[in-house]
Structure formats: structure tokens, C-alpha cells
Structure 1
Amino acid sequence: MNGMTPPHSIGSLSARTGIPVRTIRFYSDTGLLPPTLRTRAGYRRYDDAALDRLRTIGVLRELDVGLPTIRRVLDGDLTLTEAATAHADAVELQIRALRTRLSLLRCMAGRGSTPEEITRMYRLTRLASDERRRLVADFLGSLHAGTPAAQNAVAALRTAVPNLPDDPSDAQLDAWVEITELIADDTFRALLAQAALPPADEDALAGTAPEQAADLVRFARQAVTASVDAGTDPESDQAVLVADAVVARFAAVLNRPEDGELREWMARQFEVGYDPLVARYWRLVWTVNDWHVIPGHLPFQPWLVTALRTPRPHKLDARSADAHHDAP
């Protein structure tokens, strides 16, 4: 600087950058920001290049880059691009961990968990990806599939393995915890192996000719699917009308009276092979894997059973009575 004293004292650097004097002195003492020179009285002085260096240090520290990495960048051992890329990857991992922590806290708050449940939930969510896969694989390997139907059920389960992502949403984490609770239950394992798939259409109506049964079940599914997909309340007047149409078809094909006895018989038949807990498991798998529900693939049986057992409104009964009265 042509023999001139560098213009910046530590106080001047602090005023220009907003970095505290104590911090600048620390950077200087550790060699991260060496003074350009010292005055005869021993005071540190810094030139404009040192000011720029301090500004770089300040920005990188604001981004939480470590001092050893900053030193390598300033010394030319590491490019700024390389440092930014590595730090971005590290921040991404931190964000994932924080998201998981936030989701777990919300899950705990929503469940009103006991200390024991909180410990177990924390352990489950902290499992590495390969450990989570091993947990599910052990569950699938424990399912006993003695009959052909059970073998098909287990095969279906193995094509839809729940896979929790590394940065799960609140819903995915909650679903994962619930899945682990289900698959740890021996009773549920036995149930799932038998009821993971509904019975074939021709086997769904006991005591009915296979061809007739298949046609009736297909008709019921088609009649009900639109209401199920639309989220129609199975206890609504609209649902009762849909159930009435299904009952009328069954009565005509089976040559039975269209009465309460037939409705209850149908309800009992459609309950066989379907379990709400198994359906819940599949819903949880869809949530964990972030799958979209495919229209027409929701189980129709529980909706129809509820509609069949819902008391018919008086206006519908009157309309039905008028139709029978006017019939030739």
C-alpha cells in the first residue's frame, strides 16, 4: 500500500461488516483473518483485501459452514463451488432429520402417547432404510400360507411392501408407526394371511350356483363402486336406493322375496372374507408409499353391508309400496 498504514482497524471492520469485534479478534488469532500488519504500538490493521476476506467468512458462517471448511476455501484448497455442494448435501440431511423429528412430535401429540409408546415410536422411526425393509420382510416371511387362497394373499402382500421414505410426511410417519404395531400382532398376521384378498366372485355367495354368484357379485360391485369412489355416505337415502337396486336384482335372480330377510342374508354373505382391519392395513400401505387410490379398487363390501342394514326412510318405503300396488 505504498508504505501507507492499512486503513482498517478491528473496530472499523466491525462497523463495516456488522461482525462483533470479539469474533473478528478470534478469526485473527486463529489465523483465519491475519492482520495485514501491526503498528508500532501492536495494533492490528487490515487492508481492503482483508475486509473482503472477512465478508466472505461472515457469509459462509451465516450459512453455517464450518471454520475448517472456510479455511480451506480461503487458502485455495477447496473451491467455493465444492464447499457449497458439500454443505448443501449436509443441510439436506439435517432438513430430513428435522422433518422426521417434527412429524414424530406431531404423531406423539396426536396420539396422546405414553412414555413407553413414545420410546417405541422413536426407535421405529430412527431405523435405517435397510432395517425397516428387514422388519417388513420378517413379517411377510412369518405369514403361513397353507391354502391356495392364502398363498395368493401372501403373494399379493409381497408386491405391495410398505416403504417409508427418508423424509416422510406427518401422515406417512403416522401410518408407518401404525403398520409396525399391526404386523407385530400375531392375531393380525393370521387374519391378514387369510383375508388379504376378498374371495373370488363365484365363491362369494355360499349355496349359490357359481355362475349366478359371479354375475350377482359383479352387478353389486358395479352398482356400488361409483358411490364408494364418490364418498357417498352408506347410511344416506341415496345409498339406500343403490342397495334397493342390488336387492331387487338378487331377488329376481334367486327367486326370493325382496324383503328384510334377503337383505340380511346378503349382508352376511358380503361380510365373509372382508375384515376392516385388513382394509385398514392396505390404506396404511397406500399412505406410506404415497400411492393414489385407483377408482374402482376400493373394497365395496363394507359400504354395501352398511347400506343394506340401514333402516329405510318412510318415504322410500311408501314409494316402494306404491310401486308394488301399481304393478300389474
Structure 2
Amino acid sequence: MDDDTSYGPDSPDLPDSPDLPDSPDSLYSIGELARLTGLTVRTIRFWSDTGVVPPTDRTPAGYRLYGPAALARLGLVRTLRDLGVGLAVIRQVLEREITVAEVAAVHAEALDVQIRTLRLRQAVLRAVAGRGSTPEETELMHKLATLSDQERRRLINAFIDSAFEGLDVDPGFLASMRNGMPELPEDPSQEQLDAWVELAELVQDEGFRAGIRRAAEDQTRAWKESGRPDGERTKRAARVIKERTEAAREAGIAPDAPAARPFLDEMAAVLAEVSRREDGPEFRAWLLERLEAGNDPRYGKYWRLVAVINGWALPDMDPATEWLKAALRA
């Protein structure tokens, strides 16, 4: 371990850089080096003991003496220590085993990691301050914010496995879940970090997992009755629902108003085709039951958080689904 904690000037009057030696043959005691460099005697002695600044000679009494080369070495060692380079690496540089450029490249990369870690810690502290978190919540949020990319993937995959394992879920749906992984960028914004912490808390919520699983089980039963829907038709139906409910809302048409009937009829016809059923009162009752069973609002929240983290523009289907459910109830 590097133990040069006393590294620094002994007093404000000491110079920040060494003076030129009197001659190439000049020899200096540790005390004289300290006065010339502004380093403490303890630091110079420690660096000497570790071999990075070995003595040039010794006095008859055994005291160490240092030549001009030691002055130059001390300047380089101090610079590298200021940059956070360890003494073992500094010794390699001085012995020409590695170059200063190689050391700088490695430490620049390490600093990138440290900066990112500090940003994550900053985000946690801001979130804690804004939420008035308990000590337990603070510890949890810190753990969530500092997970690696691999650990984040493992957490989301564990949620997907828990929610859908053993169910005859559409492979395309499962693929979309696994492909829609939250990927924090190298330099995430505060909003992205906050969204990640909230998402990580959400997927570990047993109530959320159970609700998503119930919805998947209900969907699986519906598929067994009517057959698995075609993916392209499902996307088309989603577009129709979003467009028609938006048009109705923009026109100021309430879901239970008579003027809502044409909008509902158009959407019901498309959904009946997707479900391979005939539109009518029985189908609409069945459709409402499916929407009620499978519309945990936190599922939409899950995708909104992923969208924030990944910087996606994701359409919000919750208002459309709520309008359609209200129209079906009416």
C-alpha cells in the first residue's frame, strides 16, 4: 500500500518546484531535498525506501545523500502521484518497463469509470434528498444505481422469467421484452438515472410481478379459445385504437356519449378480426373482460421508464385503453 499521506509542503514558505542544483556533482540530504522540492521528509524517505528515488550515496555515518537525478525523479514521481498513479506503476515507468503515455491512457480510462460512478452516486443523493428516503431505501437505491450493465440485464431477465416462466406466451412478445432492455448510456442524465432506480424497484415488486403474470395467464387462455393473433394485425389494431380514441378526445366526445358509438364500432370491428371472433354484445363483453384483466397500469409505466432510460419515443397507450374500456362499459 502506498503510505505517503504526508506528501505536501511542510510550510507555506517552501517552494513548489525544485531549484537548480549547484553542480552536477552536488549531493543533498533528505532535509535539503525537502527544502528544495516542498515535499516532506517522511514522503521522500518513504519513496526512497520503495525504490522509486534511491539514494546516490551515503555519508560515513550512513545518512542518505541524493544527486541531481534524484531531484528530477522526485519531480516526476510527484506529478504522477498527483494524477493518482501508484508507486509500483511509477517504478515501472522509471525503469522504462512502461511509458508515461501508456500509464496516462490507462488512468484516463479509469477516471472515466470513476466519473460515471460519481454521477451515479450524485443521482442517488439527489433522489434521496427529493424523496425523503429512509436509511433502508437509501441503501437500496445506492445498490440499484451502481449495478453494472450485466447486473442490470440479470435483474430484468429475472423479472421476465418470474412473470412468464411456464406460460405459453407468444415468443414474439417474450422477444420484445428481452430486447427492450434498459441500457443506461455512458453519460446518463439525472432523469435517466431516476428512471432506472424506479424501474429496478418496480420489477422487484412482488405485486407487480404477480399482476403481470395474471394478465399473461388470462391472455394465454384467450389465445387457446381463439388462436394466437397475427402480429401485424395486432399492431394495426393498436394504431387504429390510438388514432380513433385521440380523434374522439380531440372532438370532446366522452366515451359514454352517443357520438362515441361510431368510434367504438370501428375499433370493435378491428379487434374482433384480430381475435378471430364475431363482433357483437358477447364479443364486447369478452373484450372488456380481457382489457380489465390485462391492463395493469404499471405495465405501461414499465415501458415508459424503459423509454426514458433508452431515449426512446414511446407512444402512451394508456389514455386510449382507458377511453375504449369506458366506451365498452357504456
Q: TM exceeds 0.5? A: yes
Q: Which amino acid aligns with 1:281?
A: Y
Corresponding residue for residue 37 of structure 1: 57
Q: Which amino acid aligns with 1:298?
A: D
Corresponding residue for residue 302 of structure 2: 281
Q: Aligned-pair distance for 1:182?
A: 2.2
| CA RMSD across the alignment | 4.6
The superposition leaves residues 7-43 of structure 1 with CA deviations (integer Å, 9 ceiling, x where unpaired) of 6554554444332333223323443222333456766
Superposed, which structure 2 residues align to 1:207-246 within 5 Å?
217=241, 219-221=243-245, 223=247, 242-244=251-253
5+ residue gaps in structure 1? 199-212, 225-239, 256-268, 310-328
Corresponding residue for residue 24 of structure 1: 44
Superposed, which structure 2 residues align to 1:118-137 within 5 Å?
118-137=138-157
- Please state if 1:301 is matched with 2:325: no
Q: What secondary structure is seen at the aligned counterpart in 1 of 2:252?
A: helix
Aligned CA distance change for structure 1 residues 128 and 20 (closer, same or farther; 3 Å): same
Superposed, which structure 2 residues align to 1:121-200 within 5 Å?
121-144=141-164, 153-164=173-184, 169-192=189-212, 194=215
Q: Aligned-pair distance for 1:56?
A: 0.4
> How far apart, in 2, do the equivalents of 1:177 and 1:143 lie?
20
Contact 1:14 1:21 in 2 (8 A): yes
Aligned CA distance change for structure 1 residues 244 and 65 (closer, same or farther; 3 Å): same
> How far apart, in 1, do the equivalents of 2:199 and 2:38 lie?
52
> How far apart, in 2, do the equivalents of 1:223 and 1:129 lie?
41
> How far apart, in 1, do the equivalents of 2:322 and 2:157 lie?
34
- Normalising by structure 1, we get a TM-score of 0.61
The superposition leaves residues 257-284 of structure 1 with CA deviations (integer Å, 9 ceiling, x where unpaired) of xxxxxxxxxxxx8x86654322211111
Of 66, 73, 85, which aligns to 1:53?
Answer: 73
Aligned CA distance change for structure 1 residues 275 and 24 (closer, same or farther; 3 Å): same
Aligned CA distance change for structure 1 residues 176 and 56 (closer, same or farther; 3 Å): same
Aligned length: 264
> How far apart, in 2, do the equivalents of 1:165 and 1:176 lie?
11
Q: Which amino acid aligns with 1:94?
A: Q
Aligned CA distance change for structure 1 residues 303 and 217 (closer, same or farther; 3 Å): closer
Q: Aligned-pair distance for 1:149?
A: 8.4
Q: What secondary structure is seen at the aligned counterpart in 2 of 1:286?
A: helix
Aligned CA distance change for structure 1 residues 223 and 17 (closer, same or farther; 3 Å): farther
Q: Percent identity?
A: 43
Corresponding residue for residue 70 of structure 1: 90
